[in-house]
Amino acid sequence: MSVSSSRAASARLVQEKLCNLLFNNQQKCVTVKRNFGSTYLPQTNSFMKIYQGTSKFGSFINGIKQSQASSTSIPQHSRDYSSVHTQQPAGPIREYKIDPYMLLEDELKYIFEDIRQELHQGTNQKELIQIAEYYFDGQGKALRPMVTLLMGKAINYHMYRENNPRTVDAQRKIAMIAEMIHSASLIHDDVIDQSFSRRGKPSVNVLWNHKKVTQAGDYVLAIASIMLSRLKHDEVTLMLSAVLNDLVQGEFMQLGAKETENERFSHYFTKTYRKTASLIANACKGSATIAGADAPIVETAFLYGKNLGLAFQFVDDLLDFVSSSETMGKPAAADLKLGLATAPVLFACEKYPELNPMIMRRFKEPGDVEKAFELVHKSQGLEQTRFLARKHCLEAIKLANKLAESPYQKGLTDIMDLVLNRMK
Give the interface with other proteins as residue ranges (CB under 8 A).
120-125, 127-128, 188, 191-196, 205-206, 208-212, 214-216, 218-219, 221-223, 225-226, 228-234, 237-238, 241-242, 244-245, 247-249, 251-252, 255-256, 331, 334, 337-339, 364
Q: How far is the CB of 146 from other proteins (least distance, A)?
A: 25
**For residues 149 and 143, is the Cβ–Cβ distance under 8 A?**
no
C-beta closer to other proteins: residue 32 or 242:
242
Q: How far is the CB of 345 from other proteins (least distance, A)?
A: 17
C-beta closer to other proteins: residue 167 or 406:
167
C-beta closer to other proteins: residue 353 or 367:
367
Q: How far is the CB of 133 from other proteins (least distance, A)?
A: 14
C-beta closer to other proteins: residue 50 or 338:
338
Q: How far is the CB of 194 from other proteins (least distance, A)?
A: 5
C-beta closer to other proteins: residue 195 or 289:
195
C-beta closer to other proteins: residue 25 or 185:
185
- Strand, helix or coil for residue 203: coil
Residue 342 to residue 344: CA distance in whole angstroms: 6
Residue 201 to residue 22: CA distance in whole angstroms: 36
Q: How far is the CB of 339 from other proteins (least distance, A)?
A: 6
Q: How far is the CB of 189 from other proteins (least distance, A)?
A: 9
C-beta closer to other proteins: residue 39 or 249:
249
Q: How far is CA 109 from CA 38, 200, 253, 353, in A?
A: 31, 20, 35, 48
Residue count of the chain, please give it: 424
Interior angle at CA 93, CA 18 and CA 408, nearest 5: 30
Q: How far is the CB of 366 from other proteins (least distance, A)?
A: 11
Residue in 128, 233, 223, 212 with CA at minimum distance from that of residue 181: 223
| 180-194 b/e (C-beta count within 10 Å ≥ 16 → b) | bbbbbbbbbbbbebe
Residue 68 to residue 48: CA distance in whole angstroms: 16
Neighbours of 211 (CB within 10 A): 9
Please report the DSSP string for 284-338 in residue order. Answer: HHHHHHHTT--HHHHHHHHHHHHHHHHHHHHHHHHHHHHS-HHHHSS-TTHHHHT
Residue 333 to residue 323: CA distance in whole angstroms: 9
C-beta closer to other proteins: residue 24 or 249:
249
Where on the phi/psi map is residue 34: left (φ > 0), alpha (ψ -120 to 50), or beta?
A: beta
Q: How far is the CB of 315 from other proteins (least distance, A)?
A: 21
C-beta closer to other proteins: residue 26 or 214:
214
Long-range contacts of 4-12 (CB under 8 A, 24+ apart): 6/110, 7/110, 7/169, 10/106, 10/107, 10/110, 11/56, 11/107, 11/163, 11/168, 12/56
Residue 156 to residue 175: CA distance in whole angstroms: 15
Amino acid sitting at position 413 = T
Q: How far is the CB of 238 from other proteins (least distance, A)?
A: 5
C-beta closer to other proteins: residue 108 or 216:
216
